[in-house]
Structure 1
Amino acid sequence: MANSAPPAQRQTAAKRPGKVLMHREESVCRIIFSNPDRYNAMSLAMWRDLKRIVDQADTDSGIRVIVLEGDGDKAFVSGADISEFAQLRDTPEHIKDYGNAVKAAQHALSACAKPTVASIRGICMGGGMGLALACDLRYCTHDAKFRMPAARLGLGYDLQGIQRASSILGLANTADIFMTARTFDGREAARLGMVHQSYSEAEFAAAAKAAVDSIGKNAPLTIQAVKLALSHVINPQDVAEQRVQRAIDACFASKDYLEGQKAFRNKRDPEFKGQ
């Protein structure tokens, strides 16, 4: 999304570079996109930081769920920070480097063994939609605003991003969203499959928390196997069938499998350890 702020605000924003923040809440890792003066637009540094933070969370055995959200309620992510394009996305080499950083961040999310959840309020456009689609689950408010403006900016959208979008939204919806560059709200996003559910602002926080809590209580190895299987369905070349089968076999060989049976027999909630 283009930066429409007045010059004075743009100057102030330039002095406050965006950040990707990480907050740990017990077994939940919250990744927060913080660039509020630009509706949480992603700078090149933020794309790189996101990959690093996701990789870090992925190796933390104490983290069960990764949640992505925007700073404040005006935006999730409004896209890439267009103010950088004249310097950082101007030559073929720069364009390639920038694209690689974006793809690496999105791939880190999709390939992460931990379940990822996009919690969307406000604007979710361009690269913000790409980030959300790279997550396993996506929830938003009814009044969230989605748009893929690539066709209005004249830029080329990468093949992997189109492939991911079409696998989730279908070819017809992907063509519509990318070719018209139209804006649609949270209710339509749920109908299209862009999000799993949309909620009123009053319901959203509690509903999103309930979803995250329920995921965190489930068997980590089972969730990892499901993620690998889904990745194989989307792109068999990226995740081999043998790798998926090993993950499935690991579930049946785990202590959690025994715990699940024991909890069922004793009519209590299971306490999974990811082992």
Structure 2
Amino acid sequence: MKQSNTFATGFIKAFCEAGTGLLVIDNPQRKNAVTAAMWRAIPEAIHWLHAEAGARVIVLTGGGTVDFSAGADISEFTELRNDAATARIYEASNSRAFAAVREAPVPVIAAVRGVCYGGGFGLAAAADLRLASSDAMFAVPAARLGLAYPADAVQDFVRGLGSQMARRALFTGAAMKAAELLACGFLSEMTEPDQLEQRAQILADTIAANAPLSLRASKLALRAVEEADVDMLREAEIIGASTFESEDYREGRTAFAERRRPVFTGR
């Protein structure tokens, strides 16, 4: 059964079917620019998808057929980001959105087409896997606007792009092509524009068919290694050890013996 929900008066949409979640930044008239209300809604939507709708994987994408996201809605900056005090409040909601993607207990796939700038680029960088169409363009224009990118989100650029490309992106503000980001390892795959949705769906469905506890343990272990977090690594080890007592492990062994596809329940 397909489930759906909307947030931020419909500008953030969430869908889930057969364990595959879809989170849509839906503001195509403004190149899917993210308003303050949308930033606040992203963590809510991600929580709803995995905790209530039962998503085992989430695909993050932009509404319409042209762009992923132009980033934060600059038209709000005069009121909501006009000095250090208001900027701190605004950037806290940015950081919570990036963290919700990064720390989601299920894998998050960013499917990128067209413009992927600023905060949109940050959301993609926080995802676990990234696919892009060959026409996608990426940039962090903060330096060209006279502001600094949120420091706690820079880590995602460094991890995804590598040290040199992250510096290039942040220092120059210049746009980079999908082919460049495929070459540096930021993207796991580059597709033709008309194939992006299909390729993202195939990847998501493949992940959703696997054991949820295994996915959770793997994502946590990967984060622990990247962030050099000993406590997180220990938590991943505990979850990993619990899989050997799970119903899904028994189902996996049985299905292998019976030469059929396993049906995992997350228990």
Gaps of 5+ in 2: 1-8
Q: Which residue, out of 103, 108, 123, partners 2:115?
A: 123
What amino acid sits opposite 2:12 in the alignment?
Answer: V
**C-alpha distance in structure 2 between counterparts of 1:216 and 1:167, whole Å:** 25
Q: TM-score, normalised by structure 2?
A: 0.92
CA shift at 1:24, angstroms?
A: 2.5
SS in structure 2 at match of 1:76: coil
Provide the residue aligned with 2:208 in structure 1: 216
**C-alpha distance in structure 1 between counterparts of 2:23 and 2:85, whole Å:** 29
**What is the total number of aligned residue pairs between the two structures?**
260
SS in structure 2 at match of 1:29: strand
Provide the residue aligned with 1:236 in structure 2: 228
**C-alpha distance in structure 2 between counterparts of 1:25 and 1:270, whole Å:** 18
CA deviation profile, 1:42-69 (whole Å, cap 9, x unmatched): 0000000111111222312622111111
Aligned-residue sequence identity (percent) comes to 34
Provide the residue aligned with 2:144 in structure 1: 152
Provide the residue aligned with 1:194 in structure 2: 186
SS in structure 2 at match of 1:75: coil
Q: Which residue, out of 239, 245, 252, partners 2:237?
A: 245
Q: Which residue, out of 92, 97, 108, partners 2:84?
A: 92
Provide the residue aligned with 1:7 in structure 2: none
SS in structure 1 at match of 2:68: strand
SS in structure 2 at match of 1:21: strand
Contact kept? 2:59, 2:200, Cα under 8 Å: no
Query: Cα gap change, 1:32/1:221 in structure 2, threshold over 3 Å: closer, same or farther?
Result: same
Tell me how large the CA RMSD over aligned residues is.
1.8
Moved more, 40-49 or 198-207: 198-207
Provide the residue aligned with 1:36 in structure 2: 28
**C-alpha distance in structure 2 between counterparts of 1:190 and 1:272, whole Å:** 33
What amino acid sits opposite 2:173 in the alignment?
Answer: A
Q: How does 1:1-275 map to 2 (within 5 A)?
A: 19-60=11-52, 62-237=54-229, 240-275=232-267
CA deviation profile, 1:201-252 (whole Å, cap 9, x unmatched): 2322221111111011011111101110111112234852221111111112
Provide the residue aligned with 2:4 in structure 1: none
SS in structure 1 at match of 2:259: coil
**4+ long deviations beyond 6 Å:** none
**C-alpha distance in structure 2 between counterparts of 1:192 and 1:37, whole Å:** 31
Contact kept? 1:75, 1:121, Cα under 8 Å: yes
**C-alpha distance in structure 2 between counterparts of 1:53 and 1:265, whole Å:** 39
Contact kept? 1:231, 1:239, Cα under 8 Å: no
CA shift at 1:94, angstroms?
A: 1.1
